[in-house]
Amino acid sequence: AMTGGQTMDGPLDPAIISRQVAAEGVGRVVVVTDEPDKYPPGTAFAPGVTIHHRDDLDQVQRDLATWPGVSALIYDQTCAAEKRRRRKRGTFPDPAKRVFINEAVCEGCGDCGVVSNCVAIAPQETELGRKRAIDQNMCNKDFTCLKGFCPSFVTVHDGVLAKGSETRSPGASATPFPVLPDPALPATDKAYNICVTGIGGTGVVTISALLGMAAHVDDKAVTVLDVAGLAQKNGAVFAHVRIADDPDALNAVRIAAGGADLLLGNDMVTSGGFETLGKLDADRARAVVNARQTMTAEFTNLPDLDFPDDKLRAAISDATGGRADFIDVTHLARRLMGDTIAANMMLLGYAFQKGAVPISADAIERAIELNGVAVDFNKQAFTWGRRAAHDLAAVEKLAGPQDKPAAAFDLDAFIARRVADLTAYQNAAYAARYSALVDKVRHTEAALGTGGTDLTEAAARSFFKLMAYKDEYEVARLYSAPEFRRSLRQTFQSHKKLTVHLAPPLGSPKDARTGHLQKREFGPWMFQAFRLLAPLKGLRGTAFDLFGRTEERRMERALINDYEATIDRLLAGLAANNLPLACEIAALPQSMRGFGHVKMANVEKAKARQVELLAAFKDPSKAVLAAE
């Protein structure tokens, strides 16, 4: 894994490796792979070698840890980056299925990221908090995320991604700039240095190669140095492109510290990193950066990780003396071109039109032609980037707003929507219980005279989360709702079959080691079952509720009662000086995310934290300890 798929001299496969390590005295050799069946009987492994599926990796490692002698584990799986390359060439199987997350069902717990460590799982900000979505352009179809203990995962079989007219803005086909003015190009009588940054698998190296070829077309001297590091999706990628009239001016291929004239930043995090900033001089450099917020791999383990947008912008602006343009070309690419892969080429067009690229437009377009890949598409992306630089307001108007434009928070509207949701969840009486608690908190907080509503908002969010726990009836209702099919159509133009991955509490097998329920894939018939189950929500909490007898459901009902008691306790002792602590206590249920064992663990953490905070609420002298 993470080899980049480089060719090597001579034959080398797992069987040869096993024989080699066995010959060197290793006592036990095991092979772990995602395709155990690919080894036919008679494969020349060393004597005693056993083959295991990658799902058993943890248990295999535990077994080897107790092995008294030296052991070797050979992990055999094609590098994800190499898979993408081969699939583009048609030389590697491309499964005709994709993963889709039902946003309404998702709890945002992040377990899918924990089990898969996949950076294609992107944050999806919603009114009810951060959830998850699959970035279809980044997904390498590993499908490990399906093992996350969550019923929101759907596999779309023979699905056709919505591209072109399905995702493009209605005005994208118009040509508002029939003739673009030619910018004044930078001088290249001495070396002009372009630092291209981005993340693996998004075409950064392609951009540097196009710049190199375009410079040749313009009869200029050029050097290109790509620094890709590990072939890891979302790994930092740097390219040093140096252009000059005279080859003698290019005495080194690497851009020296403070030597960059242009930062072409295809990723905010990489562009704002120490290595990149060290190439910039505030008196010399300028930057054109994609403002799209792409989470780092750390997000897979920290589900609430915040993106440091302001800090990155400030760092880049300071390093360039304020000569930095930030533009969300990913959004523009999706809306104007129908595919976010056009973002990097669009950014190049933007930088060119701003007069920051010392190569002619004809040379760049000729380089695109010589590359021979999606020629018309890339030319259009380059032109749209130029148009954005010429008149960004006009281009943004054509593209339309972001998917979910930020709006000022309206507490009354939020509460009203939650009342409607709980009415649909159960009934009006159930929703009235919610309203009663929120109104009580609001009146008590208003009596303090602080003018704030932080406690009311915390209670409104938390109590809704507790009351709208996603049991079998609710999951069925959310899958049967028209919003699910609508969101599916926004991602897929068409599909032949949908399957859903569930671990029903009644009848699901358990993992022998952990005792956790194991998920299974259910066919299209399950969606019909959802439609039959959803109307039975009236059984929830009654003697006829078979699902309500599980430990998890009993816990969820108890949490509702406990929260009401906790709020009463907080309101009885509420004062202006302990209001922040009360807000933190009231917000704790928002961390009780997930399903099954994942939720149980999060509930235990939240309860432990609540004990500390309530002690501090009762005795302010313990507040410092609680904060720690």
| DSSP letter string, 43-70 | --PPTT-EEEEGGGHHHHHHHHHT-SS-
Domain locations in the chain?
14-77, 95-157+472-536, 192-399, 405-471+540-628
Specify whether the CB–CB gap between 205 and 228 falls below 8 A: yes
Q: Identify the burial level of 100 via C-beta atoms within 10 angstroms of its C-beta, where 0-12 means exposed, 13-18 middle and 19 or more buried.
A: buried
Q: How is residue 91 written in tokens?
A: 């030389």
Is the model more confident about 121 or about 563?
Answer: 563
**Is 70 exceeded by the pLDDT of residue 4?**
no
Candidate from 150-159, 432-441, 511-520, 578-587 with smallest mean pLDDT: 511-520
Say whether pLDDT at 625 is over 70: no
Range with the largest mean pLDDT of 80-89, 153-162, 374-383, 429-438? 429-438
The pLDDT of residue 378 is above 70? yes
What sign has the CA pseudo-torsion 297, 597, 104, 413?
A: negative
First-to-last C-alpha distance (Å) of the chain: 40
pLDDT of residue 165 exceeding 50: no
Q: What is the mean pLDDT of residues 492-500?
A: 93
Cα separation, 454 vs 483, whole angstroms: 30
Mean pLDDT, the chain, as a whole number? 90
Encoded amino acid at 2, one letter: M
Q: Using alpha carbons, list the distances in angstroms from residue 447 to 71, 437, 456, 586.
A: 69, 16, 12, 18
Give the Cα separation of 73 and 15 in Å (integer): 12
Q: Which residue has the tokens 């995962």?
A: 153
Burial of 510 (0-12, 13-18, 19+ CB in 10 A): exposed
CATH 3.90.180.10 matches 192-399? no
CA distances from 77 to 28, 54, 93, 119 (A): 20, 9, 14, 18
- CA–CA distance, 42 with 105 (Å, rounded to integer): 47
pLDDT digits (tens, 9 = 90+) for 324-344: 999 999 999 988 888 888 999
pLDDT in tens, 59-72: 999 999 999 999 99
Of 149-153, 190-194, 588-592, 615-619, which gets the smallest average pLDDT?
615-619
CA dihedral (296, 117, 608, 425) in degrees, to 10, reads 90
Q: Is the predicted pLDDT of residue 364 greater than 80, yes or no?
A: yes
- 98: β partners: 156
Q: Which helix (H) or strand (E) element contains residue 226?
A: strand 221-227
162: nearest Cα among 337, 295, 329, 290: 337
Q: Which of 287, 331, 332 is nearest to 313 (CA)?
A: 287
Measured CA distances, 111 to 118, 143, 198 (Å):
11, 14, 27
Token output for 292: 């799209």
Categorize the per-residue pLDDT at 166 as very low, low, confident or very high, splitting at 50, 70 and 90: very low
DSSP string, 437-476: HHHHHHHHHHHTT----HHHHHHHHHHHHHHT---HHHHH
Does residue 160 surpass a pLDDT of 70?
Answer: yes
CB 504 within 8 A of CB 472: yes
232 vs 597 pLDDT, higher one:
597
What is the reported pLDDT for 623? 58
| β-pairing verdict for 236-244 and 28-33 | unpaired
Tokens read off for 434: 């919610």
Residues with Cβ within 8 Å of 355's Cβ and at least 6 positions away in sequence, in order, are: 183, 184, 185, 186
Which pLDDT belongs to residue 200?
77
Model's pTM, two decimal places?
0.83
| Mean pLDDT of the 17-44 span | 93
The radius of gyration computed from the CA coordinates of the chain, to the nearest angstrom, equals 28
Name the token pair of 501.
Answer: 């991955």
Average pLDDT on 526-553 reads: 94
Residue 172 in this model has a pLDDT that exceeds 60: no
* Helix (H) / strand (E) containing 195: strand 192-199
Q: 27-41, 198-212, 222-236, 545-559: lowest mean pLDDT where? A: 222-236
Q: For the chain, what percent of residues have pLDDT higher than 90?
A: 70
| Average pLDDT rounded to a whole number, residues 410-422 | 96
The mean pLDDT of 424-448, rounded to a whole number, is 97
pLDDT digits (tens, 9 = 90+) for 546-591: 899 999 999 999 999 999 999 999 999 999 999 999 999 999 999 9
Q: pLDDT tens, 381-403?
A: 999 999 999 999 989 888 877 75
pLDDT of residue 176: 58
Least confident of 177-186, 244-253, 541-550: 177-186
Partnered with residue 160 across adjacent β-strands are 494
